[in-house]
Every structure is written in C-alpha cells, then in structure tokens.
Structure 1
C-alpha cells in the first residue's frame, strides 16, 4: 500500500470537560480528495488546527511525508509542504493579485522581507508567483486589485498562494462557503483537476460538492470519526444518516 502523504494517529484534544478530538486517525493518499464532514460542533476546525500546527494535541501525532511534525508550528509545516486555504479569506484585499501570490512565494523562500530590496523586484519570487497564477487561471488578472475579484476567483487566488509553497498536500476549509450554485459548480471542477497537483483534505458542508469530488469521506461527530468510506458507503450507512446526513443523503 502506498504510504500516505499526510496522516494523523489517535489525535486527542480536550478543552476542559469537552473532548473536541477523540482519538482521530485519518490519512490522505497520493492523488485523492478525502473529505471531512460533520455537523456544526463536531470538531472539524479543531482537527484542522492540529493538522496545520496552530493547536498542539494533548496526545497523538501528525505525520507529513512520513515525518512526525507534531511538535512543529504552522510555518514549519508550510515549508514542509502543507498548503492551506481558509474558511474566511486571509488575502490582502487592497493588494494586487500578483502581490498576494508573491507574498506566498516569499514565505516559501524562507527569506525575511528586505526593505532595501523590495520583494516585487525579485525575479525568482515573481516568476514563482506568476506561474502559480497561470496554473489556477488567473494570469490575466494578476494586476487587478484583489477586492475586485469574484468570490470564486478569490478562492482560486488562495490556491495560487498555496501553490507557491510547492505543496505536497492541500488542506481546504470550506472552500465553497459563500458561493452560489454556479460558483460551487465552477470551483468543484477546478478542485477536481487540482488533485493532480497534490492530494486534498477537504472540510466542506456542500454535500453536492463532497459527493462529486471525494474519493473517501470521513464523518466526524462529537470529536470522533464514526465512518470512513466511499460516497456510496457513506450514503448507505445507517449510523451516518442518523447522526448527520438525514434527508441530505
């Protein structure tokens, strides 16, 4: 069996009497989209924060490309190849599309911001940023003010910023949030092709997108994974229907 690109083992995290993560073990395999679904309060955000390095688990481990990164922070995991997009956009809205992508490339370089040599004058950084924008279809918009992009285009820009980090895995937190039906359909097609760049761990409430995209789905309820399987497996699970899907299935 191919070694997972990303894996958690028995992740546990409590906040007082609340156990937000209860022994979570999941993995992400090369070329796949693995969706994490569950009701509000299931512990999805807590899980993502632990995977990305923003929250230290009480016990358990996170491995990236076979290496234990549990003790490493967000920046170190990003440099190691973990690319993240956020539920709420973290883009600099007043900057241009190219400037946002170049900031990502600057982070990949590991070099500090140099006031005596502005980053925008760095040919290597610019080339990496322009390449990432071309790959997501935003090359013609690189000089546009980011605030003027459509919501879907901003999601594409977030992916472009992540691509400048040469990601080995994407972590995507509700990329469909705020999109209408047409925007969701466009982004679904985009993400379907993106898995060729790197596998995607997808947290999403849009069940149409989940069932269209996911090779595997894990269902999280009260901090515990109650089922993992294909879309067909999840649709057929009585426990999942009772706990979460209901009529959505």
Structure 2
C-alpha cells in the first residue's frame, strides 16, 4: 500500500477549556480528495491551521510527504510542497490578477528580490503565472484589478496562486464559499482533474460538491472525528445523521 501524502496522528489543541481538536487522526492518500465536513465551530479551520503550520498543536504529530513537519513553520511547509487556499481571501486587492500570481511564483523561489516592476518583467515568472491563470480559466482577466473580480473569480485566483508553488498536496478551506451554482460546478470539475497532480484535503460546506468529489469523508464534531468513510457510508451513518447531516441533506 502506498504511504499517505499526509498523516495526522493524535492531534489536540485547546483554547482554555475549549478542545478545538481532540485526539484527531486522519490521512490523505495519493490521488485522493479527502473531505472534512462538520457544523460551524466543529474545529475544521483550526485543524487546517495546524496542518499548514500557522497554529501549533498542543500534542500530536503531523507527517507530510514522508517527513515529520510538526515543528516546521508555514514557509518551510510550503517549500516542502503544501499548497493552501484560505477560507478568507489573502489576495492583494489593489494588484492586478497577474501581479498576484506572479507574487506567488516569486514566493516559490524562496526569496524576494529586486523592485516589483523588475519582477514583472521576469519571463519565467510571467510564464508560470500565465499558465496557472489559464488552468483556472482566468487568463482573460489577467490585467483586471483583483478588487474588481467577482467572489467566485477570487476563489479561482487563490487556486492559481497556490498552483505556482507546484504543491504536492493541497489544503483547501471552503473553496466553494460564495460561489453560485455555475461557479461551484466549474470548480468541482477543476478539483476533480487536480487530484492526480496533488491530493486534496478539502474543508467544504457544499455537500453536493463533497459527495461528487470525495473519495473519503471525515466528519468533525466538537473537535473530534466521529466517522470516516465513503460518501455512501457517511450518508448512511446513524451517528453522522444525528450529529450533523439532516435527512434533507442526504436525499
């Protein structure tokens, strides 16, 4: 059996008396989309922050791409191959679409250099950025100001920025948030094509997208994983039905 791309073992994180993560264990396998679902306040974003390195766990271990990364910071994890999109946009709104992606490509080199106007003349960076924009369908919007994009286009742009880092696995925190039906359908198709390039740990509230994409689903409630399984197994799990999924969500 192929080793997991990501393995989380017995991860715990408390904020005072609140246990945001309580002895969580899960993994992400090559070529897989593993969805993490649960009600608001279940601890999903807290878990993603620990995996990405922006929040230190109290106990437990995180292994990615065959290496213990528990003590590494966010930059080191990104350089190792972790790509992340955020629940709340981290884009530079005053910059153009292309400039945002060029900055991502520059970060992949591990250091910033020179004046920004010189960076925008770097042919290799521009090629990387333009290829990423084409992959997410934003090549025609390259010169637009990022603040003028629709919410859905900004989500696509975040994925393009992440692609410039050439990630070996993705952490995606609610990429469908704010998208209409058409945008969700397009992004679902793109993520489906992306999984063979880099497996995806997907936090998502759009259950249609989750059930369409996920090879496995883990359900997080009050900081604990109460079930992991296929879409059918999760749909038919009585504990999941009681704790999170209403009958109308499973029809």
Q: Into which bin does the TM-score normalised by the smaller protein fall?
A: over 0.9
Cα separation, 2, equivalents of 1:66 and 1:16: 33
Shift of 1:197: 2.3
Query: Which runs of 5 or more residues in structure 2 are unaligned?
Result: none
- Alpha-carbon offset, residue 111 of structure 1: 1.9
TM-score (norm 2): 0.95
Q: CA deviation at 1:117?
A: 7.3
- Count of residue correspondences: 249
Task: Say whether residues 1:233 and 2:233 are aligned partners.
Answer: yes
User: Paired residue for 2:59?
Assistant: 59
CA-to-aligned-CA distance 1:29-83 (integer Å, 9 cap, x gap): 1111100001111111110110000011111111110101110111111111111
Query: Match of 1:19, SS?
Result: strand
CA distance in 2, matches of 1:38, 1:105: 33
1:88 alignment partner in structure 2: 88
Q: What is the rounded CA distance, in whole Å, between the counterparts of 2:116 and 2:87 in structure 1?
A: 35
**Which residues in structure 2 correspond to 1:60-139 (within 5 Å)?**
60-115=60-115, 118-139=118-139
Greater alpha carbon shift after TM alignment, 78-87 vs 106-115: 106-115
1:11 paired to 2:34: no
Relative to structure 1, the CA distance from residue 221 to residue 131 in structure 2 (aligned partners, 3 Å threshold; closer, same or farther) is same
Kept in 2, the 8 Å contact 1:216–1:229? The answer is: yes
Whether the 8 Å CA contact 1:152–1:187 is kept in 2: the answer is no
Structure 1: state its 5+ residue gaps.
Answer: none
SS of corresponding position for 2:4: coil
TM-score (normalizing by structure 1): 0.96
Quickly say closer, same or farther: Cα 1:190–1:180, change in 2 above 3 A: same
Alpha-carbon separation, structure 2, partners of 1:139 and 1:117: 20
| In structure 2, distance between residues paired with 1:186 and 1:122 | 31
Q: Deviations over 1:207-238 (max 9, x none)?
A: 11111111100000111101000000000100
Task: Give the secondary structure class of the aligned counterpart of 1:50.
Answer: helix
More off after superposition, 41-50 vs 140-149: 140-149
> Are the structure 2 counterparts of residues 117 and 206 from structure 1 closer, same or farther at C-alpha, using a change threshold of 3 Å?
closer
Distance 2:116 2:178 in 1: 40
Judge conservation of contact 1:120–1:126 (CA < 8 Å) in 2. Answer: yes
SS of the residue corresponding to residue 27 of structure 1 reads strand
Map of 1:173 onto structure 2: 173
Question: Hey, what's the Cα distance between the residues in 2 that align with 1:29 and 1:128?
Answer: 27
| Contact 1:226–1:240 (CA under 8 A) maintained in structure 2 | yes
Distance in structure 2 (CA, Å) of the matches to 1:227 and 1:241: 11
CA RMSD after TM alignment: 1.4
